[in-house]
Structure 1
């Protein structure tokens, strides 16, 4: 039977007939689609292009030119549909904007809230793959995702947000290369604000070990993973990354501003170069770097000593007063920025513990205005732990202290937690109790070891304060007060512990 065009049939009470125009089946072979089965309208919303043009020729029989025209027609029709959707969205937006209540509400919102509301109104009728987001929308979403990916996934179920894949693709377009990011420092200066107190900051630098490997970036057509400091790139595969960060003192903000891939530890000469350039760039945009913090790595110590020696030579040539432990970084117009180098207190604590493992510590302390001398020994710490484990198996005085804390062959020397638990007030109190004459478990001179441990514990608390308030148990673990003068407290630490 020859193919016929589909007749228009009025739907009956129980079913209605529909025909596929491009189908090759005969009328007898075409199944009757009931209203219960599909619940579709009699006419399709978007008819096929061939049906609209009245062409009955099969698509598989098209020539090459006809196929090109057919593809072009389909792409044009899709563009028309998208433009129609945009027109409808603009019309709906104009209708909403005309509402006085909505306009008043939008004006009261912050820029971030306005962007969020606009994105929700723009995409609430769109399918998941048809949604559109501006770059600002994606940037706001990235901020939420970086804060907490789990929270972002929860919010994605409640609101219309870009997918995590979209966020990764957006971040992939941002080119971050090794070296110093002057643009990041300028943006940071604008975000901090004009308040001079908020602009006081410190420079922090450290390095981490990475797995040596190479990666190819298709969008940049380059291979990363080699030793690279932003200016010099070698053929050595990097196994460390050195990172430089600026952190606020009075206000809680921090931002990495430079990094470099390096083979083993970063060279001292490179650290000195990065140090000077970052301080100069930060000072140029109004940030006030007053100190620097790093660990006690050999290259870091060498770099700090080189900076201090250079500063002393500059002061001597200018007949200036030579100050110890102050770095002067040269700036334009013959100006200098003074920076105080500091070592990370946790690393100082580990270094002190490691030194006490190998040799006794002789120190002085003050009692009622008189200066006295004592000797602290690691052997007393080992003995008190041994006594505590043998005599008090049920009710131990030092339940957290184990062989990993006191045995120098079992100590994990990179763990700050182990050093802090040994050089603590609790261990000092137990040693002091066992050294009393009526107890007799330790010699009387073990008192000096307890004295030194208590002093070290208080010094560590005094430099380990955060942005929060004062703790009831650890009164020295807080912000350094300006009015009292914290240096006086450091000088009086031993006096305050007497008795």
Structure 2
């Protein structure tokens, strides 16, 4: 460090070249505190923040866990307390548009089903994202993702989660809970992990990990189940959705005063309204309960509607406890505050009242019976979640010294915000492609460059990402060779240099191959100008593109105004490309989902006989150019076919 400072200090900023070991050391310093690093940069010659960003350029993001995140977490959490390192693991899915993209740097096709340890030939249409979030200190870190087809394999999901939890422990990160929604595979996962109502946890390396469902998702499902079934029986009491709907439809002027925020989207089923937690929370609220009781007393509603009012009020209190974000209640008599282990008698009594309410509510929910053929999973989901929260709070108090727990941090809220950012990276697309999703995932990690929370009391307003990666262009086109980005798909309009007795399809196919041979020949002579091979590849009569009018006309239709990117190929070169095309069609389906796809193809394509090249090296370069360019067009054709298929629900 001393010798580096002696050399760099006399130099001006634009002349400084930062050694790699100094950049690595500076990154470690930056993790300890950005403010201290900025002050240190005024005294020493150390890389600026921009250079630290660029140092992550070489990081490749692959499905599975990101290894660099483990290293960053270990450095960052080295001085944190055990309470601050305790976290919850969230995972959720995001739909993807079926699409394939060739990454020329890694020689790999992006878009196939990939769990990080296993790839298949199925095109992925779902991505599962895993994040960890602090329970005491407010921080969030995406750590893994996988690409899958339709439904996540339960065995692969179980292996991923257990591996993540085991690998996070040596880094100082202790996962105490796993939270997800009520997807079918998530229920299968809970059963496979051995989670029951009596013991809502599974054990990893001697530590209990509690299994919960997302509380906002449970609330929405309860609203939807009641609206679809119309009736819910709880012992001798009956809860009816019609009571809420009748209240909303009353023409009484007092109704508008009592239910100012209730709209049609709250009451009637709609695709958007079913996914909004706020609508369900405002229906199952104390305000709705009060309004029902008022109109029952005014004889505007059936007296039995009072049972629906009781249900709404109890669900409101339950949601307040399981979605708390403040230390003290926002209104008198509310349970909407954090679970607390404060020794103060008044606060201890309030916390005990919360716990007693949760225990009684779990027993109350066990009596639910919806008027439907099959009992919904929501009933068991509520019981499992409430029991897990009670066990988790007891564990955190006794073994980790927790003084309070904001239960809202157990929800999927922060993971949902991360997924929304992924969509916004591509003009708010609900279903980005796999390549776009991976680029957005990496881009978002870099946006919050090494930002560290200023407080550790859990009340910071903004979650921060602890480990960052280098931003990549938010476009799938960035994965292609710049020489290949300008290529447009070939149109089915062709011009042959010789008249042949072939049908229209064969004519188009031959024209496409001819112009493709000209393009590969042009790339070969510009990138590998061999004086022996190039004359054999180009036509002796028309070496200039502008002199060949027919090919010029066709290339203008294909490549646009700039037709200089195509060379007139010799007849022997064209026949060689035809042979390569036949081998390509034979083997591409076999190797497309494999690693080093172009290299795998080249091993087969090199068997095509020829007498054009002076050495195997020249032939290998030509075949490699053909393979990469042909892969690009092949994937574009596959994507066009995928877009024509009906979307999978």
Q: Would you say the 8 A contact 2:90–2:132 is kept in 1?
A: yes
- 1:328 is matched with 203
Q: Deviations over 1:19-46 (max 9, x none)?
A: xxxxxxxxxxxxxxxxxxxxxxxxxxxx
Offset at 1:467? 6.1
Which of 354, 357, 365 matches 2:224? 354
Offset at 1:490? 4.3
- 1:363 is matched with 234
1:175 aligned onto 2:100: no
Q: Secondary structure, in 3 states, of the residue corresponding to 1:275?
A: helix
User: What is the distance in 2 between the residues matched to 1:478 and 1:221?
Assistant: 53
1:196 aligned onto 2:55: no
Q: Secondary structure, in 3 states, of the residue corresponding to 1:212?
A: coil
Bigger radius of gyration among the two: 1
Q: Secondary structure, in 3 states, of the residue corresponding to 1:401?
A: coil
Offset at 1:284? 3.0
1:301 aligned onto 2:187: yes
Q: Would you say the 8 A contact 1:405–1:411 is kept in 2?
A: no
1:401 aligned onto 2:262: yes
User: What is the distance in 2 between the residues matched to 1:213 and 1:118?
Assistant: 51
Offset at 1:459? 0.8
Q: Would you say the 8 A contact 2:73–2:171 is kept in 1?
A: no
Which of 281, 306, 309 matches 1:420? 281
1:463 aligned onto 2:338: no
Q: Would you say the 8 A contact 2:154–2:188 is kept in 1?
A: yes
Q: Secondary structure, in 3 states, of the residue corresponding to 1:324?
A: coil
Q: Would you say the 8 A contact 1:207–1:265 is kept in 2?
A: no
Q: Secondary structure, in 3 states, of the residue corresponding to 2:314?
A: helix
Offset at 1:197? 0.9
Pairing of 1:62-77 with structure 2 (within 5 A): none
Q: Would you say the 8 A contact 1:461–1:474 is kept in 2?
A: no
Unmatched 5+ residue regions in structure 2?
1-6, 17-33, 343-347, 362-649
Offset at 1:216? 3.2
How much is the aligned-residue C-alpha RMSD, in angstroms? Answer: 3.4
Offset at 1:384? 0.3
Offset at 1:217? 3.1
Change (3 A) 1:207 1:323: same
1:89 aligned onto 2:12: yes
Question: Greater helix percent: which structure?
Answer: 2
Offset at 1:293? 0.7
- 1:378 is matched with 241
Offset at 1:482? 2.3
User: What is the distance in 2 between the residues matched to 1:217 and 1:467?
Assistant: 47
Offset at 1:339? 1.1
Q: Would you say the 8 A contact 2:248–2:255 is kept in 1?
A: no
Q: Would you say the 8 A contact 1:435–1:444 is kept in 2?
A: yes
- 1:340 is matched with 210
Q: Would you say the 8 A contact 2:247–2:255 is kept in 1?
A: no
- 2:354 is matched with 489
Change (3 A) 1:214 1:467: farther
Q: Deviations over 1:251-286 (max 9, x none)?
A: 111111111011123222221111211121122333
| Greater shift in the superposed pair: 354-363 or 390-399 | 390-399
- 1:78 is matched with none
Offset at 1:392? 2.4
Offset at 1:235? 1.9
1:113 aligned onto 2:38: yes
Q: Secondary structure, in 3 states, of the residue corresponding to 2:147?
A: strand
Q: Deviations over 1:57-83 (max 9, x none)?
A: xxxxxxxxxxxxxxxxxxxxxxxxxxx
Q: Would you say the 8 A contact 1:245–1:258 is kept in 2?
A: yes
User: What is the distance in 2 between the residues matched to 1:173 and 1:467?
Assistant: 42
Q: Secondary structure, in 3 states, of the residue corresponding to 2:60?
A: coil
Pairing of 1:21-420 with structure 2 (within 5 A): 89=12, 111-114=36-39, 116-117=41-42, 134=47, 136-139=49-52, 172-192=57-77, 193-308=79-194, 323-329=198-204, 331=205, 336-357=206-227, 358-363=229-234, 373-387=236-250, 390-392=251-253, 395-408=256-269, 412-420=273-281
Offset at 1:451? 0.7
Q: Would you say the 8 A contact 2:255–2:291 is kept in 1?
A: no
User: What is the distance in 2 between the residues matched to 1:265 and 1:301?
Assistant: 13
User: What is the distance in 1 between the residues matched to 2:80 and 2:271?
Assistant: 52
User: What is the distance in 1 between the residues matched to 2:66 and 2:249?
Assistant: 54
Offset at 1:378? 0.7
User: What is the distance in 1 between the residues matched to 2:213 and 2:10?
Assistant: 62
Change (3 A) 1:237 1:172: farther
Q: In the comparison of the two structures, how many residue pairs are matched?
A: 329
Q: Secondary structure, in 3 states, of the residue corresponding to 2:179?
A: strand
Change (3 A) 1:189 1:435: farther
Offset at 1:134? 3.4
- 2:299 is matched with 440
User: What is the distance in 2 between the residues matched to 1:433 and 1:494?
Assistant: 30
Offset at 1:376? 1.3
The structure with higher relative contact order (CA 8 Å, sep 6+) is 2
TM-score normalised over the length of structure 1: 0.59
Change (3 A) 1:242 1:85: closer
Offset at 1:110? 5.3
Offset at 1:232? 0.6
User: What is the distance in 1 between the residues matched to 2:330 and 2:107?
Assistant: 54
User: What is the distance in 2 between the residues matched to 1:257 and 1:395?
Assistant: 47
User: What is the distance in 1 between the residues matched to 2:167 and 2:59?
Assistant: 22
- 1:31 is matched with none
Change (3 A) 1:233 1:326: same
